[in-house]
A = this chain, B = another copy of it.
Amino acid sequence: MTETRYDVLGLGNAIVDVIARTDDDFLAKQNLNKGAMTLIEEGQAERLFQAMGPAEIISGGCAANTASGVASLGGRAAFIGKVRKDTLGDLFAQNIRAFGVDFGTLPAISGPATARSFILVTPDGERTMNTYLGACQGLGPDDVAKEAVEGSAFTYLEGYLWDPPLAKEAFRKAAHMAHGAARKVALTLSDAFCVDRYRDEFMELLRSRLVDILFANEHELKSLFTTEDFETALAGLRETGALGVVTRGPAGAMTVTREETFEVPAFPIERLVDTTGAGDLFAGGFLFGLARGLPEKECLRLGALAAAEVIQHIGARPQRSLEEMAQQEGLAV
């Protein structure tokens, strides 16, 4: 195996988050599905934008957040995703590059605007996402940069890529390309409703061993194995043969394989503000550790640390240097 150019390459929807604080009454009035990611059309997006609280714009996107987390830890990261050449596309590109992430996907110069997710954050810290996919619908196999995929220790793919029409082809192409270069492929299930939409295809990705590492939270895992029982879902995960990484919010996180289970507690926080990006940053910390050859339990700790940073402020990108935080915790690599 040749030397790697990147620790992690993320492939995902390139999205800016339009974020406002709200209360549960607003979610109820607007018929929003609390805690979930719901796809919306342009007209719905505009109505929600005008109805929601004072909005701020912060770059987001699941795999993009993960790549930013890897870079903030001092890792080498790249991202593939489609924006349009417009004000918010420029913001997305500036933000991810300023984190030190290589981002070279050509922006669309026509067609729908850069994607945005309207995120409502309730006082309990839960986030409710409503996503207009816009330019993400233009992501396709031609955007999969061979040298980036073949040079990355891990190619990280989001389940959300099943939503835009051509992106799953990009996903499969990248995964096969990574395996062809003897690299590893990771998938995050993204969202329990997303699993609901594409359960059979996600199971097939695991059965065919196109995915080596699966990231999921409890809800997504139960949805994948259509069970209400967490232990049953874990047993299903073990059977797939993949390395399972399961996040459980304040209950911590665990890795699961056929042979072993490791668990770590959640990293202590002062105040829960906004859970947006918690799973994304967890994956970033975990994969960074794995790429640097750390034992799984240390990787879990890095994931927990990165998630703890991001849930203590609004927005899904780190505000502090995760590398400095890791050093302070004796988790330096």
Contacts and interface: CB of A to CB of B under 8 A. Distances in A.
The interface centre, meaning the residue of A21, A68, A313, A314 with most chain B CB atoms within 10 A of its CB, is A314
A50 B90 CA distance: 10
A52 interface: yes
Contact of A87 (B50, B88, B95, B313): B88
For this chain, the copies found in one complex come to: 2
A319 B87 contact: no
B55 A94 contact: yes
Contact of A58 (B52, B56, B317): B56
Given A52-B98, A98-B52, A91 B57 contact: yes
A250 interface: no
Given A21-B319, A86-B87, A87-B87, A98 B57 contact: no
A140 interface: no
A122 interface: no
A326 interface: no
Contacts of A20: 98
B88 A54 contact: no
A317 B91 contact: no
A322 B58 CA distance: 24
A98 B55 contact: yes
A312 B49 CA distance: 26
Interface string A90-108: 1100111011000000000
Interface string A48-75: 0110111111110000000010000000
B56 A57 contact: yes
Nearest to A96: B54
Contacts of A52: 98
The interface centre, meaning the residue of A56, A68, A95 with most chain B CB atoms within 10 A of its CB, is A56
Given A56-B57, A87-B88, 18 more contacts: A20-B98, A49-B90, A52-B98, A53-B98, A54-B59, A54-B94, A54-B96, A54-B98, A55-B91, A55-B95, A55-B98, A56-B56, A56-B59, A57-B58, A57-B91, A87-B87, A313-B313, A314-B319
